[in-house]
Every structure is written in structure tokens, then in C-alpha cells.
Amino acid sequence: MFALNGFFIAGAIVCALAVLLGIIATIIRRYPDDWALIATAGTEIFLIVYAVAAGIRQAGGEAILGESWEFWGYLLTAAIMPPIAFFWAVSDKSRWANTVLAVSGAITFVMLFRMEQIWHVGVVA
């Protein structure tokens, strides 16, 4: 585990919101819910802000304990997910589009957790 910090807490809240709205929308909607879509777009915006901030922090000499190529690999993969989920949901038009959005939010959280591990703990597994 790593010490809680502002980036992680903010990311966790954004992801939790996307997961929660995705699950609720799966239950109560038979079409993609606008708020679930917006929340998923929110996770992407968070990742972009996180990436810019990480770039500035690392360029400024802030130590990253793990491998930096691993960190950026995770970040790139994470950033690809929400757009896929978003456009998938828009073209699917069924109840399950909302579940896809919820899964995307959960994946983003797991990726963020791993990135924070790589940054603050270093090699884990």
C-alpha cells in the first residue's frame, strides 16, 4: 500500500462515481444514461490531468520508485479505456452499455492504484 494523496483520492472519487452511475443506470435504464456517459468522460479527463501533472512532477525531479516505462505504459493503457467504453456505449444503445461504463470506471481505478504503487512503492510483483 502507499500513502493516500490528493491525486489518488480525487481519482478514486471520479472512478467510484463512474462505477456507481454505471451500475444504477444498468438497473433503471434500458438505454445508455447521459450521466453515466459524462462520468466516464470525467475519468478520461482525470487521467489526462494526472498524466500532465505526472509529466511535470517527473520532469521536476520528483522521484518515482518503480520503472518509469511501466508507469507510462499503465497510464497509456488506462487512457485508452474510457474512450473505447464511451463510444462502445453510444453505439450499443442497450441496458448493458451502462455496465460497460461501470467496468471502464473500475478498470481505471485498478490502473490508478497500480500507477500509485509503481510511483510510491516501486516493484511490487
| Of positions 19, 100, 115, 118, contacts another protein by CB under 8 A | 100
Q: Which is nearer to another protein, 31 or 56 (CB)?
A: 31
Q: Phi and psi dihedrals of 121, rounded to 5?
A: -110, -30
Q: Find the binder of another protein among 107, 112, 115, 118 (CB under 8 A).
A: 107
Residue 91 interacting with another protein (CB under 8 A)? yes
For the four alpha carbons of 125, 115, 110 and 3, in that order, the dihedral sign comes to positive
Residues 6+ away with beta carbon under 8 Å from 19: 102, 105, 106, 109
Binding site for another protein (CB under 8 A): 30-34, 37, 77, 85, 87-88, 90-97, 99-100, 103, 107
